[in-house]
Amino acid sequence: MKPGKNLLQTIAIVGALVAFAGGMNVAHAASTDGTYKAKLMPLNAKTTGSDASGEATFTISGDRLTIRVTAKGVPPNMEHLQHFHGFATGDGTSRCPTARDDKNGDGIIDMVETEPVAGTTMVPFHDDPVSMAIVNDTYPKAGPDGSYSYEKTVSLKALEAAFAKKFPGQRLDFARRVVFLHGVPTATKLPASVASLDHIAAQVTLPIACGPIRKVAK
């Protein structure tokens, strides 16, 4: 093969690659593809007896939203409610509660005390997030080692529609939300001052980890 032809082929291949890469950039810019992440830090560790931690990631690719949660140091052998929480009105950004948010001073941050800083329970991470049903028995269950791993892929459009129906005027807006993990064993003794929601036992809703969701730089 003559050197001249080789060079032309190389130029053609490089040209094609540049055009391909350029096209990919345009496609990315036009969509909302991206990844959001929350680093989960322990809450109420004195009550759980261990430092719960973990990570939640939200990966958007076209209409596919993949929700992943890994947790460790959580009470073992039981189901753990997990959601993102946020403000149902306005455009405020939620934050995770601290000891100062324990307004009744009972040493425990309960669900009601999370609301002024984190808002309300929004999207559940169980077998059917699009249902938006908070009460459900398909939340992940921690193994004997106090860890679990959850993964679910849903239609982003379907979740957005269900979300807008339940929270009129709101969008998913991941970067304004916080992820909570909940739950200590039902036998855990809690002061009567620990509040819960609806008719759910305070042990079930007790927050055990929290992390603010942030967009991951590309």
Residues that bind Cu ion (CB under 5 A): 83, 121, 180
- Residue 4 or 179 with smaller CB distance to Cu ion: 179
Q: Cβ of residue 122: shortest distance to Cu ion, in angstroms?
A: 8
Q: Cβ of residue 134: shortest distance to Cu ion, in angstroms?
A: 8
For 49, 159, 189, 190, 204, the CA distances from 76, given in Å and listed in that order, are 11, 30, 17, 18, 13
- Residue 33 or 79 with smaller CB distance to Cu ion: 79
Q: Look at the alpha carbons of 216, 93, 128, 74 in this order and tell me if their dihedral is positive or negative.
A: positive
SS3 168: coil
Q: Cβ of residue 25: shortest distance to Cu ion, in angstroms?
A: 37
74-101 b/e with 16+ CB inside 10 Å = b? Answer: bbeebbbbbbbbbbeeeeeebebbeeeb
**Which tokens belong to 134?**
């908070």
- Residue 73 or 207 with smaller CB distance to Cu ion: 207
- Residue 163 or 180 with smaller CB distance to Cu ion: 180
For 30, 112, 163, 170, 183, the CA distances from 201, given in Å and listed in that order, are 46, 13, 26, 29, 10
Torsion angle of alpha carbons 66, 67, 73, 75, nearest 10°?
Answer: -130
- Residue 40 or 156 with smaller CB distance to Cu ion: 40
Distance CA 208, CA 218 (A): 30
Question: Which residue, judged by CB position, is nearest to Cu ion in the bound state?
Answer: 83
Q: Cβ of residue 35: shortest distance to Cu ion, in angstroms?
A: 21
Q: Cβ of residue 180: shortest distance to Cu ion, in angstroms?
A: 4
Q: Cβ of residue 125: shortest distance to Cu ion, in angstroms?
A: 9
- Residue 83 or 126 with smaller CB distance to Cu ion: 83
